[in-house]
Amino acid sequence: MKYKLFSRFLPVLILVLLGACRQDFLIENNPNAIVTADYYKTENDVLLALNGVYQALRDNNGIAENSGLFSEERSDNTGRNDNQSNAGEPFQFNAFALLPSNSYLQTHWNSLYQTITRANYVLAGSEMVTFAKPETKTQYQAEAKFIRALIYFTLVRKWGDVPLVTKPLTTTEEVTANTFREKKETVYKQIVADLTDVINSPLPDVQAAANKGRVSKVAGNALLGQVYLTMATTLDQANRNANLTQAKTFLTNAYSKRTFGLLKEIPYADVFDVSKKTTNPETIFQIVYKQGDINYSSSIAANNQAQGETINSLRTTTGVGGNVTPDLVKEYEDGDVRKDYSIKYANAAVVKDYFVTKFRDASSTAGTSGYGGNDWILMRYADVILMLAEVNLYLGDEATAIGFLDQVRERAKLPVYSIAKTNPDYSAKFPTLKLAILHERRVELAFENQRWFDLLRFFTPTELVAYIRSKSQADFGAAQLTNFGTKDYYYPIPFNEVKLNPTGMYQNPGY
pLDDT 10s digits, 175-201: 999 999 999 999 999 999 999 999 999
Residue 146 has pLDDT above 60, yes or no: yes
pLDDT at position 471: 98
Inform me whether the pLDDT recorded for 216 exceeds 50.
yes
The yes-or-no verdict on residue 428 having pLDDT over 70 is: yes
Q: Nearest 5 degrees, angle CA 436-CA 219-CA 380?
A: 40
Report the candidate in 49, 176, 197, 179 with the shortest Cα–Cα distance to residue 113: 179
For 104, phi then psi, to 5°, come to -70, -40
pLDDT above 90 for 421: yes
**CATH no. for 1-203+474-511:** 1.25.40.390
Q: Comparing C-alpha atoms, which of 356, 258, 265 is closest to residue 304?
A: 356
Q: Report the distance separating Cα 357 and Cα 441, nearest Å.
A: 18
Mean pLDDT of 109-125: 97
- What is the pTM assigned to this prediction? 0.93
pLDDT band at 170 (very low <50, low <70, confident <90, very high): confident
The alpha carbons of the chain give a radius of gyration, in whole angstroms, of: 22
pLDDT tens for 61-95 read 999 999 999 999 999 999 998 999 999 999 999 99
pLDDT at residue 11 is higher than 60 = no
Instruction: Give, as one character, the DSSP assignment of residue 379.
Output: E
CA–CA distance, 87 with 65 (Å, rounded to integer): 24
Query: Do 212 and 280 touch, CB atoms closer than 8 A?
Result: no
CATH code of the domain occupying 207-268+379-446: 1.25.40.900
Specify the higher pLDDT residue, 456 or 16: 456
CB atoms within 10 A of CB 510: 11
The string of DSSP letters for 159-183 reads HSSB----S---SHHHHHHT-SPBP
Residue 26, class by beta-carbon neighbours within 10 Å (0-12 exposed, 13-18 middle, 19+ buried)? buried
Say what the pLDDT of residue 9 is: 47
Same fold, 1-203+474-511 and 207-268+379-446: yes
- Check pLDDT > 70 for residue 322: yes
- β-bridge mates for residue 286, sequence order: 377
19 versus 442: the higher-pLDDT residue is 442
| Average pLDDT score over residue span 316-331 | 94
Give me the mean pLDDT over the 40-62 stretch.
Answer: 97
pLDDT in the model for residue 38 = 74
- In degrees to the nearest 10, what's the CA dihedral of 152, 156, 162, 166? 20
SS (H, E, C) 445-486: CCCCCCHHHHHHHHCCHHHHHHHHHCCCHHHCCCCCHHHCCH
Read off the pLDDT of residues 455-505 as tens digits, 9 standing for 90 and up: 999 999 999 999 999 999 999 999 999 999 999 999 999 999 999 999 999
- Tens-digit pLDDT profile for residues 243-274: 999 999 999 999 999 999 999 999 999 999 99
Confidence bin at 40 (pLDDT 50/70/90): very high
- 95-117: average pLDDT: 98
Lowest mean pLDDT across 29-38, 226-235, 499-508: 29-38
Confidence of residue 37 (pLDDT cuts 50, 70, 90): low
pLDDT of residue 290: 97
Q: Cα separation of 311 and 305, whole Å?
A: 8
**pLDDT computed for residue 135 by the predictor:** 97
* CA–CA distance, 164 with 6 (Å, rounded to integer): 15
Compute, in degrees rounded to 10, the torsion defined by CA atoms 153, 159, 163, 168: -50
What are the angstrom distances between the C-alpha of 4 and each of 7, 131, 500? 5, 35, 9
Q: How far apart are the first and last CA of the chain?
A: 20
User: CB of 59 within 8 A of CB of 115?
Assistant: yes
CB 292 within 8 A of CB 367: yes
Mean pLDDT of 201-209: 97
- So where are the chain's domains? 1-203+474-511, 207-268+379-446
CA distance 289 to 286: 9
Could you tell me where the DSSP H helices lie in 235-368?
Answer: 240-256, 268-271, 300-304, 326-329, 337-342
| 120-144 pLDDT, tens digit each | 999 999 999 999 999 999 999 999 9
| 320-331 mean pLDDT | 95
If you average pLDDT over every residue of the chain, what do you get? 93
* For the chain, percent of residues with pLDDT exceeding 70: 93
Helix (H) or strand (E) holding 39: helix 36-39
CA torsion, ordered 402, 408, 410, 414, to nearest 10 deg? -90
Dist. CA 446–CA 358, nearest whole Å: 9
Kindly indicate the confidence band of residue 35, based on its pLDDT and cuts at 50, 70 and 90: low
Buried-state track 487-507, b at ≥16 Cβ within 10 A, e below 16: bbbbbbbbbbbbebbeebbee
17, pLDDT greater than 90:
no
Residues 389-409, mean pLDDT to the nearest whole number: 98
